[in-house]
Amino acid sequence: MDVTLLGTGAPQGLPRPGCPCAACATAVGDEARAATALLVDGALMIDLTPGPAFAAARAGQSLTGVRQVLLSHPHDGPVMEVPAGLPQPGRVADGRELALLDGHRVRAVAVDIPGTGYEISGATGERLLYLPPGAAPAGPANGNGRTAGGGGTSGTGPYDLVLLDVAARPDALAKLRASGAVDAATDVVAVHIDHDVPPGPELHRRLAAVGARAVPDGSTLVVGEFHAVPDLPRRTLVLGGARSGKSVEAERRLAAFPDVVYVATGGTRDGDQDWAQRVSLHRERRPGSWRTVETCDLVPLLEAARPGADAARPAAEAGASGTEPGRTGTEAEAPGTEAEGAGAGRAGETSPLLIECLALWLTHVMDDVGAWDDATWEAGGRRALRERTDALVAAVRQTHRTVVAVSNEVGSGVVPATPAGRRFRDELGRLNAAFGAECEQLLLVVAGQALVLRG
């Protein structure tokens, strides 16, 4: 089954008509995109794009064999004319199937916004899923390749190809992964691309980080044909200064994956309104399906997915005692989160971890070992801190979990005025270097832009 993408952009296209933004100004060449439309085996057309006959001709295709035109969403872009000779566009009711004479079967999939997704099966069993702009499958994923409620995905295993609005709805991809509809071999292609993400290398970098790709208008994809899926790093360290966008970058990298465990190392600060506001902003930005564990005991979390590591799993995941003092239950008030302590439940031992952040973890450990006092530091605090950081780095090296960690880059500013400040700066630099050495990918975020240092 061949799928030709006559367009890959948002309904208004990219660049948007009359839009002066930087993304639209730089959307030229292969990064200029017409409204998304699909031509399947020259016989089935999904959605319309401006000048579809010319778009097909540019891709080396013809519309003369089209027997069915289906729409997936209310069209709010430029006026579309149906070329002479094409059937009038229609929709399929959610959950209903349409059998075409050439052997294709089309099943309408319910989505969570006005519109319809389409599951298309070829005569030889290949399967693809196409979702309209800004849409995710309706209903919660139940883990068997089907979403709860009528009109979910068919449940016959993972799709060969999925086309969806990855940039705007990474949670849709997370839901498909959770249900088994997308696995490591599924070719995930971003469509409905708009001006919210800078075109060119930044778009492709962001998509590759979540296991997806984008192709130019006019590309023809062979459903079921092997395609190199982007190699996802198991361990990533995201560095940056204050308010640089490092947390947003880290969260973006896991937004398309299910069952993420957010590890908050900051704890609470009674009476600190600024800190409370920061925590609140982080909570609001995170997907509601993520779970939160508040702890600085990172080693057991990293070891949890190792064979035979059950005895070492952390109290935060096991619901046992032994949580960090002063770090129990702060995040439990937010929807979709878990607190530490009794009754917290056990987080998935293979769930991806987002650790926020190493600088706060180091502050906690330096408190524990008395590193702020010069005498204590020289009498054994230095050695105790090295043991704790070495244990963390060793756990990162051995972990089987996907890990994205955030840390502050503090070595480029002014020299701290106090010995304790200089000690923290130096130790954080050493920790970042050692932790980063064990990561497949290392990023530095400056002014919201992620610079790839490695990977």
- Active site amino acids: 282
Type and span of the H or E element at 353: strand 353-356
List the 44-46 sheet strands across, edge first. 68-70, 44-46, 37-40, 2-7, 220-222
Residue linked to tokens 């590890």: 263
Cβ atoms of 371 and 385 within 8 Å: the answer is yes
Measured CA to CA, the distance from residue 29 to residue 74 in angstroms comes to: 28
Question: Measured between alpha carbons, how far is 273 from 330 in angstroms, rounded to an integer?
Answer: 15
Q: Cβ of 383: how many Cβ atoms within 10 Å? A: 11
- Show the DSSP H helices in 219-266 as ranges: 246-254
Tell me how far apart the alpha carbons of residues 233 and 256 are, in angstroms, rounded to a whole number. Answer: 14
Task: Give the chain's length.
Answer: 455
Strand bridging mode 449-454 / 441-446: antiparallel
In angstroms, the Cα distances linking 64 to 35, 55, 60, 71 are 21, 13, 13, 19
| Tokens read off for 424 | 């923290």
Q: CA dihedral in degrees (294, 298, 300, 301; nearest 10)?
A: 60
With vertex at residue 112, the alpha carbon angle to CA 107 and CA 118, rounded to the nearest 5 degrees, is 20
Q: How far is CA 245 from the centre of its chain?
A: 16
State the Rg of the chain over Cα: 25
